[in-house]
Each structure stands twice: as structure tokens, then as C-alpha cells.
A = this chain, B = another copy of it.
């Protein structure tokens, strides 16, 4: 099976409020337009379906992320492009996912500065984390270990969503998950 016929797991990792789900949602129609089957596994949504009762200790986070990786792998190996949006703060859990999924794993670090996430505070969680009302909050009272060799890093404080989507699509073409676009191709030499 050539790479373009296989699925892929786009693993969006980063702080709460970084823009992981937003980017995943925005890239999905672009992938469908290229004929790909697409499923989204959003960390928050998955928690209700696969991980009810799990909390935010390191162990519980690891279990939750391992379940997401298990399901993502099942879909990917059946030709689906799986968009995972999960803080997945520990390097070890992302390495385990990469090991399971192999070369079809694409790690996308959604990496605006922490200050930008605090400023946005879309869900009002940072305020609660800073006041101590929420414990074990990634970036405030819990660690985030940034990727050392992500396939792509996007500082969403410095680009539009469209620009981010463009960068993802371009990287997927470079990695041969998508066909080269016509504008990327070398111009014809004119020879028949």
C-alpha cells in the first residue's frame, strides 16, 4: 500500500486553549476535499466516551491518552485520517503513541506562548487554575513537556487559522500523505 492510500494520525498536542481542536476542525474539510476519510478524537469528547471517571493525575492522563492512541491506531490502519486533539503533556505518552502507530504518526505541536493561552482563557479554566480552584492544570500546576522532534510546530499567536491549516496541508504533502498540489509541481518542460 503506498503511503497516500494509508491513513494517518495527526496528533495535536499543546496547552489548554492553544488552538488544537480549532485547527483540527479547520483542517478536516481540507482533507475530505482531497478524498480522505476523517475522524476527530477530541480529548474532552473522548473522556466522556472512553474515560468516564478518570481524573488528571499523571496515571489517569496516561490511561486516557493510551486509549485515544489505541482507537486512533485502529482507524488509521484502516485508511482513516485521525485528528487527535489532546493536551497529552508528557513526552513518554506521545512516544508510546508514536511507537504504536509508527511512521503514520504526525506530531503537531500547537505552541502559542503560555501567556497567550492565559490571556485567551476561552473556557475560564486558567483563572480557576491560577486561583487554585482547579488542581493539576497543565502549564500552571502540572508540567507540559514540549516535543523535541514534532513534525510541525505552530505558534498560533502569530498566524491565522487559515495560515495554520495551510502549513499543516503543506507538511502533509512534504511527508507524502497528500498528493503534491498542482501549484507545487514543476512546470512542464513542454516536451510531450
Expressed in whole angstroms, the Cα–Cα distance for A143 and B48 within the complex equals 27
CB-nearest residue of chain B relative to A41?
A: B74
User: Which one, B63, B71, B78, contacts A52 given CB within 8 A?
Assistant: B63
Which of chain B's residues have a CB closer than 8 A to the CB of A75? Answer: 74-75, 78
Secondary structure type dominating chain A contacts: helix
Q: Is the CB of A70 within 8 A of B52?
A: no
CB distance from A61 to the nearest CB of B (A): 14
A185 at the interface (CB under 8 A from B): no
Convert A40-54 into 0s and 1s, putting 1 for each residue whose CB lies closer than 8 angstroms to a CB of B: 000000000110100
A83 at the interface (CB under 8 A from B): no
CB-nearest residue of chain B relative to A54?
A: B53
A139 at the interface (CB under 8 A from B): no
Convert A54-69 into 0s and 1s, putting 1 for each residue whose CB lies closer than 8 angstroms to a CB of B: 0000000001001100
Binding site for B on A (CB under 8 A): 37, 39, 49-50, 52, 63, 66-67, 70-71, 74-75, 78-80
Q: List 22 A-B contacts (CB under 8 A).
A: A37-B78, A37-B79, A39-B74, A39-B78, A49-B66, A49-B67, A49-B70, A50-B50, A50-B67, A50-B70, A50-B71, A52-B63, A71-B71, A71-B74, A74-B74, A74-B75, A75-B75, A75-B78, A78-B78, A78-B79, A78-B80, A79-B79
